[in-house]
Amino acid sequence: MILVTDIEGIILYVNDFYLKHFNFKSENVVGKLYTTQIFLGDNERILEAIKKCIENPQNSEKIIIRKPKKHNKTYYYSSWEFFAIVNDLKEPIGILSIGYDISDSFILDDPEIDEFYSLVNNMTAESWTFYDTDLHLRTCNQKAIEIAKNVFNVEPIKGDHAMMYVLEEHKPIM
């Protein structure tokens, strides 16, 4: 999927695959602010990636974001790479975003795993998180989400790296 915005975040272009995947018409997307296309809880993560691209236009930034589905309370999960678009003077004039849907990797259809998470959640009032061996978040409970929002101003999503939730003063010892 491809999405291009100007420097203020107005969508200038989306490719046909994006439109078909999310069941949109071009006139409902182009000309709108990018925030109409995302879960607002991910906006800080997006702004941080865009800021890094603008500060270092030769580098790209990769993040995972959510997009609410139209008819229920679940999300599409997608991996996006952001690139700064620069003019002849090397000044940023827009953002090129290339993404792909990774929702299938975020779906757990194993009833035993679901039952296990439910039991753990009901057994404790403490926060808990489960990370895979690469330190990517697999799941967490509501208490952990609340703490992350309060301390880091971001809602954790599956796939986040554990280092996103380490205080700056502790990162040197990690």
Q: Measured between alpha carbons, how far is 81 from 61 in angstroms, rounded to an integer?
A: 5
Distance of alpha carbon 172 from alpha carbon 174, whole angstroms: 6
**Rounded distance between C-alpha atoms, residue 128 and residue 67, angstroms:** 25
pLDDT (tens digit per residue) in 5-42: 999 999 999 999 998 888 777 778 999 999 988 888 88
Task: Give yes or no for residue 107 having a pLDDT over 60.
Answer: no
pTM higher than 0.85 for the full model?
no
Range of the domain at 150: 108-173
Please check whether residues 101 and 115 belong to one and the same domain: no
Cα 37 to Cα 21, 24, 63: the distances in Å are 13, 10, 15
Asked if residue 65 and residue 136 are part of one domain, the reply reads no
Of residues 62 and 104, more confidently modeled: 62
Instruction: Let me know whether 157 and 85 are in one domain.
Output: no
Tell me how far CA of residue 33 lies from CA of 66, 70, 138, 140, in angstroms: 16, 18, 31, 31
Q: Are residues 98 and 19 in the same domain?
A: yes
Q: What's the confidence (pLDDT) of residue 72?
A: 60
Give, rounded to a whole angstrom, the gap between the first and last alpha carbons of the chain. Answer: 35
User: Do 89 and 112 fall within a single domain?
Assistant: no
Judged against a pLDDT cut of 70, whether residue 112 lies above it is answered with no
Residues 158 and 82 in one domain: no
Q: Do 95 and 125 fall into the same domain?
A: no
**Structure token pair of residue 173:** 């010892």
Let me know whether 55 and 126 are in one domain: no
% of the chain at pLDDT higher than 90: 40
Give the confidence band of 2 by pLDDT, cuts at 50, 70, 90: very high
Q: What is the rounded distance in angstroms from the CA atom of residue 92 to the CA atom of residue 77?
A: 27
Query: Are residue 145 and residue 79 in the same domain, yes or no?
Result: no
- Distance CA(18)–CA(30), nearest Å, equals 12
Does residue 115 register a pLDDT over 80? no
**Residue 15 pLDDT:** 94
What pLDDT, on a 0 to 100 scale, did the predictor assign at position 52? 95
Residue where one domain finishes, among candidates 105, 134, 162: 105
Nearest partner of 102 among 116, 131, 84, 81, judged by Cα: 81
β-strand partners of 75: 68
Report how far residue 146's alpha carbon sits from residue 150's, in angstroms, rounded to the nearest whole number.
Answer: 6
Number of domains in the chain: 2
- Whether the pLDDT of residue 123 is over 60: the answer is yes
The predicted-structure confidence for 83-99, as pLDDT tens digits, reads as follows 999 999 999 999 999 99
Residues 135 and 78 placed together within one structural domain of the fold: no
